[in-house]
Structure 1
């Protein structure tokens, strides 16, 4: 087989191109095509009625987009390739208030185009599959479940000095802390987490800080108000964005990882935390129970008292925390990108040119 990999970016082009060619440059059957365009431009092109075969000169048998905006309205007037895309979540339908009506309508149209033009849809969780069937009437046999995975760099790190050295780039490495990772936006339910943190016993509040790692999202006023109203500006640490290579160390330094998100298509942060050997408390919503299984404590994300009790339980019971950490490490090993790649390749093989792809059974579980 011949593979063509298409990338669009302008920022940090040399660095990105170097990494891409470092990974794929050794394969003779792989050709790399880089378009010096902002992703938003290609996104616009795929929404128009202009055929994309003018952009992609190669005659393709199969076209795969790892996100919905990569599927064009029109690819080629004659002999278009079979198309597959990955639907990560339907947050714009489940929680439209978290996106705004204009953006939610845009994503709805994008998904409608992609669903119509594709032969298979890959999803990372049964929860996302259920949402596609319920909200967008997608036939179940068109959907293939392929779970995602934590990167291999997320692992237990034994060098405590190295952990503290990396942490010192972002906050005081001597503190004990409870951690959450994710964009600071309403869907992540972080204001509720701060409320739960405030309910912990004084003996814990004296020793621990709450660290919320993530870039500033939209409409996070409630989080700021909650921190201010509780007079917790010194107890809640907002280090902002953490470099990918530093994030495993931030996980490893945490005593407990908490993820009270209201909705996730998969939920990588709790899986990353488990892979690092950190006990996890998470919401029993959407895909999170699938990811965590019995390797963490699942709670109602709207119940701040339940959140506080779960955190307290792990902090005051080191044996339980260690047991949950070990379960998490074992659980995380069930997810791998190598397995996901093999399963994705099987999907590709079911859609050889000339096959409809509409009646194959979903056997990738």
Structure 2
């Protein structure tokens, strides 16, 4: 930064940094940590309706607060009052920060706040409304349309989502910056000795299981994964069980029938939500990571697997080719035969596995939170021209 340059004053929203850290929460937390270290920024944080100097940390102790909020939101009257008043309270909280840039890392912007930046992670609520709870779709669409009108600049995780924003809303190229995500340093290759405790905890064997991690919801295409796995020979499934980690976001009768079948027959282990400290160890201990998602704004688990030295099988849908490059075995999302073939290949072909591990590690090094912060600051600088 030039000696005479002014610092950029930024208020960064931290509402999505809550336990457990999901994809957007992880993005906001890692990006905020990077931005906090940059000399060219003066950074404060909007948490709820209060502006503070310290960055919120997601902890298990906050879970009781979250569950209380969820109980309140189940009341229609309370939920409606909250929906109408909360954005206005945020606007009020920001009234003394008129010469600051306000960045929401999770789509939503409060009304009548100038110099705003918002991160759009995907457009699934418009393109795949059936993948969202029906009651929320209309409201989410309305809020996201508002955001495109309120924001001075938009940030996306991928060029794919940028293209979607330009085509769907007619937004000019120069109003959208791309800041690719990264994974944190806990995702790296490990030895069998390093992961013994986690293997023992979940009753797994080193490099003898396939891993899927993510919320159990329709767009993740887990039904296709289970159907592909079910086609394997009994001895293959027994030797290499499928391990699934993630919240049950949606109830799907056909899906959970296959869950039950797999668990009964011993080829599927559903772990539910896995603590953050266990996940990187599971990634590095797996034979391969499988991610047949239909729609992703980025696809962070693919990057986490590559950084862990684990081969990736994933769909060729939406932004995933941007992340995986030539390091993954890619298939059409609904192609059960190809997915089954690739799973067998990762059981049998040691040479191909090693090639994918080496290529994946090189690919993962192209992404960093430092680069994400650089691209984000470039977006802030565009907005600062008008302050």
- Of residues 41, 48, 54 in structure 1, which corresponds to 2:92? 54
Q: CA deviation at 1:192?
A: 1.1
* Counterpart in the other structure of 2:212: 180
CA contact (8 A) 1:67 1:88 kept: yes
Moved more, 236-245 or 161-170: 161-170
Instruction: Output one character per residue of 1:212-241: Cα deviation in whole Å (capped at 9) or x when no partner.
Output: 111111133332122345675521111011
Structure 1, unaligned stretches of length 5 or more? 76-80, 356-365
TM-aligned CA deviation for residue 311 of structure 1:
1.2
**For the residues of structure 1 that align with 2:245 and 2:320, how far apart are their CA atoms?**
19
Q: Tell me the residue number matched to 1:78.
A: none
How far residue 7 of structure 1 moved from its aligned partner, in angstroms, is: 3.8
Task: Give the Cα separation in 2 of the matches to 1:67 and 1:226.
Answer: 34
Q: CA deviation at 1:59?
A: 3.3
For residues 190 and 253 of structure 2, the distance between their equivalents in structure 1, rounded to whole angstroms, comes to 35
1:256 to 270, 288, 305: 288
Distance in 1 (alpha carbons) for counterparts of 2:373 and 2:202: 34
Please tell me whether the aligned partners of residues 252 and 278 of structure 1 are also in contact (alpha carbons under 8 angstroms). yes
Aligned-pair distance for 1:283?
0.3
Give the superposed CA RMSD: 3.2
Answer yes or no: is the 8 Å Cα contact 2:12–2:103 preserved in 1.
no
Q: Which residue of 2 aligns with 1:135?
A: 168
Deviation per CA, 1:44-99: give whole Å up to 9, x if none: 35775x37442123333311110112x11223xxxxx3111000001111211111
Matched position secondary structure for 2:202: coil
- Structure 2: distance between partners of 1:143 and 1:237: 41
Task: Kindly indicate whether the alpha-carbon contact (under 8 Å) linking 1:9 and 1:36 is maintained by their aligned counterparts in 2.
Answer: no
Inter-partner Cα distance in structure 2 for 1:196 and 1:152: 32
State the SS of the aligned residue for 2:201.
coil
Higher helix fraction: Structure 1 or Structure 2? 2
Provide closer, same or farther for how the CA distance between residues 214 and 234 of structure 1 changes in structure 2, counting only shifts above 3 A: same
Change (3 A) 1:8 1:124: closer
Q: Does 1:126 align with 2:165?
A: no
- SS for the counterpart of 2:118 is strand
CA gap 1:223/1:171 in 2 versus in 1, 3 angstroms: farther
Report Cα offsets for 1:167-192 as digits up to 9, x if no partner.
33334446820111110111111111
Cα-to-partner distance string for 1:302-323 (whole Å, 9 max, x where unaligned): 0111100011112210011011
Structure 2 residue 105 is the aligned partner of structure 1 residue 66 = yes
Aligned equivalents of 2:289 and 2:365: distance in 1? 18
The question of whether the paired residues in 1 share the 8 Å contact of 2:91 and 2:111 is answered with: no
**Superposed displacement of residue 138, structure 1:** 2.2
Q: Which residue of 1 aligns with 2:58?
A: none
| Aligned residue pair count | 342
Distance 1:9 1:190 in 2: 25
Describe the SS at the equivalent of 2:177: strand
Cα distance in 1 for partners of 2:106, 2:16 equals 16
SS in 1 for 2:194: helix
| Residues 47 and 110, structure 1, Cα contact 8 Å, conserved in 2 | no
Query: What secondary structure, in the 3-state scheme, does the structure 2 residue paired with 1:321 have?
Result: helix
Residues 232 and 62 of structure 1: CA distance in aligned 2, closer, same or farther (over 3 Å): same
Q: 1:162 to 1:135 in 2, by over 3 A?
A: same
Provide the secondary structure at the position in 1 that maps to 2:290: strand
Report if the CA contact (8 A) 1:256-1:314 is conserved. yes
Report the alpha carbon displacement of residue 133 of structure 1 after superposing the two structures with TM.
2.2
Which residue is 1:278 aligned to? 310
217, 221, 225: which one aligns with 2:257 = 225
Tell me by how many angstroms 1:103 deviates. 1.5
Residue equivalent to 2:55: none
Contact 2:212 2:289 in 1 (8 A): yes
Deviations 1:256-307 (A, max 9, x none): 1110001000000111000001111100100001110100111012011110
Q: In structure 2, how many angstroms separate the alpha carbons of the residues matched to 1:195 and 1:219? A: 17
Range 162-171 or range 315-324, more displaced:
162-171
1:318 aligned residue: 350
Greater shift, 36-45 or 273-282, is seen at: 36-45
| C-alpha contact 2:10 2:101 (8 A) present in aligned 1 | no
Evaluate the alpha carbon distance shift between residue 232 and residue 95 of structure 1 in structure 2; reply closer, same or farther with a 3 A threshold: farther
Tell me how far 1:166 sits from its aligned partner. Answer: 1.9
The answer to whether structure 1 residue 144 and structure 2 residue 177 are counterparts is yes
